[in-house]
Structure 1
Amino acid sequence: MSVVPVSAKLLVVSVVSHGHGPLVAQLLLSLARHCSGSIARVILTLNVPESEPVAPASGWPFDLQVRRNAVPLGFGTNHNLALHAATEPFVCVLNPDVGILGPSDPLAALVAVAQKPGIGCAYPLQVNAQGEIQDCERQLPTLPALIRRRLLGRADARVDWVNAACLVFPAEVWRAVKGFDDVYFMYCEDVDICLRVRLLGLVLAKAPVAVAHAGQRASHRNWRHLTWHVRSLLRLWCSPTFWQARQLLQSDVTSGGRISPP
């Protein structure tokens, strides 16, 4: 991939709202304030009926395109539909509960990392409202790894995947992996896409920039979401992607290869 100026508007951003109107309005205003130099388009998908965000008096500094779903769709499906015809060289998946920490443009920094050779996806450091680092970098979710993490409280030993709150992909990589796997309605679609990027021989790279992320797992509080989470995890464990990635990542460990982001 040829190096392109990070000041150019090279990015299309996909945001999905499921009744997140106030958060979306705040996010779009923050993007307009801090990221107008890097964003060409924002595609906002309204997954349930709600009002469109009101533009500032000066208008949006990017092309805002609003999609309305007749019926709610899954996380991955919504982003796939929004980005399937993207012509920009970089695509961004962005949660509505992400906060942009100015004054610099974090998305420009992510694009700068994503365009480097061998990078399949760029992601930021995530912090909560108190500025504490959030846990967005994870090890392959094998049963032993989950037991060590959930029951024993041990930190993951390496970074095999990252959550999808804020990810920037080179468009050619996004097309190569064909976006998210629609079979995951909710949960584990971020694990799956990261593993498929890794199977292409590409790296997940952390950019030297932070965003705020207020999200909490609904599966910790809601039995319906917990059921979705367990189903997705079982589906992941039964997938060829999981077993191929497990073999690849284990090979990297035993050979002394680097498996963490640079």
Structure 2
Amino acid sequence: MVSYNTRELTLRALETLLAEIGDRSIQVIVVDNASSDGSAQAIASAFPEVTLIESETNLGFAKANNLAAESVVGEWLLLLNPDTETRPGMLDAFDAFVSAHPERGIIGGRTFYPDGSLNPYSCARRMTVWSLLCAAFGLSRAFPGSSIFNPEQMGGWARNSVKEVDIVIGCLCFIRADIWARLGGFDKAFFMYGEDADLCLRARELGARPIISPDICIVHHVGASTPVRSDKLIDLMRAKATLVTRHFSPATRPLGKLLLWAWAFNRYLASRVGAAEDRDVWAEVWASRADWLKGY
């Protein structure tokens, strides 16, 4: 677990996780990314059984998880966001799924918003020219329930069945320690966003087949550590540009970058007639396009 200025949420995440451990032998490791809200002190006080690593700087999500994984001695790693709550029975469901599917090396589950509604962002299909075209020209937003026009988010699937996916998102991701080691963990070039997609796509090249179990469930308070939306979107666009560079074919990379440019431009134009907050956010994203299009 990587913590950054989410003290109360992190404490709740640890509380609900530890309540599910039972008689299992589990290490719980938290890297605090130089939080300024007293997160590290609160974690150390409330959960002395947790291994706490206090970083003097904000390492980002990828590097901090890699640092935590260096201390792992078990067969499986669980990557869990600090703004999550483990639902009762989550680890039992994982144990049962592994027993039934021992060949699987990356396993994810279902995530829910605090109000109980489905949060579909627990998994994804890989980016393609078609998925970027749909995003750039608003088809994904106009038809969120369509698997054709919202392909990355697998529109229309309620995450209520076992299904193989391209990407398990890092907010809830079980991965075998040997696969993690073979991949070298997350690529440390990523600061935030995209590292989980890159990891899963590299894992698929090794023969790993990420899969979702609907019985493995958490609540996810999305984006709690990134309240400034323009910063979040800029990091996200930079990550997408990096994924295009690394996982698109040489022939389609220029088109992929062009579609990212078009996506930001069209959202910027649309924001001109929207709320002032959206105008400011997309103005910042558009103004910084020369930077984020380079990727990490």
Shared fold per TM-score greater than 0.5: yes
Aligned residue type for 1:214: H
Q: Deviations over 1:44-89 (max 9, x none)?
A: 1111242232666xx76xx411111111101010000110242111
SS in 2 for 1:46: strand
Instruction: Give yes or no for the alignment of 1:206 onto 2:190.
Output: no
Question: For structure 2, which runs of at least 5 residues remain unmatched after alignment?
Answer: 155-164, 253-296
Instruction: Give yes or no for the alignment of 1:96 onto 2:82.
Output: yes
Instruction: Give yes or no for the alignment of 1:185 onto 2:191.
Output: yes
Contact 2:166 2:209 in 1 (8 A): no
- Tell me which of 106, 119, 140 is aligned to 1:121: 106
Corresponding residue for residue 260 of structure 1:
none
Change (3 A) 1:149 1:111: farther
Question: For structure 1, which runs of at least 5 residues remain unmatched after alignment?
Answer: 1-14, 247-262
Shift of 1:216: 3.8
Shift of 1:37: 3.3
Identical columns (%): 23
Larger Rg over CA atoms: 2
Corresponding residue for residue 293 of structure 2:
none
Aligned residue type for 2:211: A
Corresponding residue for residue 131 of structure 1:
116
Change (3 A) 1:176 1:122: same
SS in 2 for 1:236: helix
Instruction: Give yes or no for the alignment of 1:152 onto 2:139.
Output: yes
SS in 2 for 1:45: strand
Q: Deviations over 1:149-199 (max 9, x none)?
A: 561134444532121111111111111111111011111111101111111
TM-score, with normalisation over the residues of structure 2? 0.68
Q: Which has the higher strand share?
A: 1
Q: Deviations over 1:196-239 (max 9, x none)?
A: 11111121121222211121498895222222222221111111
Shift of 1:24: 1.1
Q: Which has the higher helix share?
A: 2
TM-score, with normalisation over the residues of structure 1? 0.76
1:178-257 equivalence runs, <5 A: 178-207=184-213, 208-216=215-223, 222-239=229-246, 241-243=247-249
Q: Cα RMSD over matched residues? A: 2.6
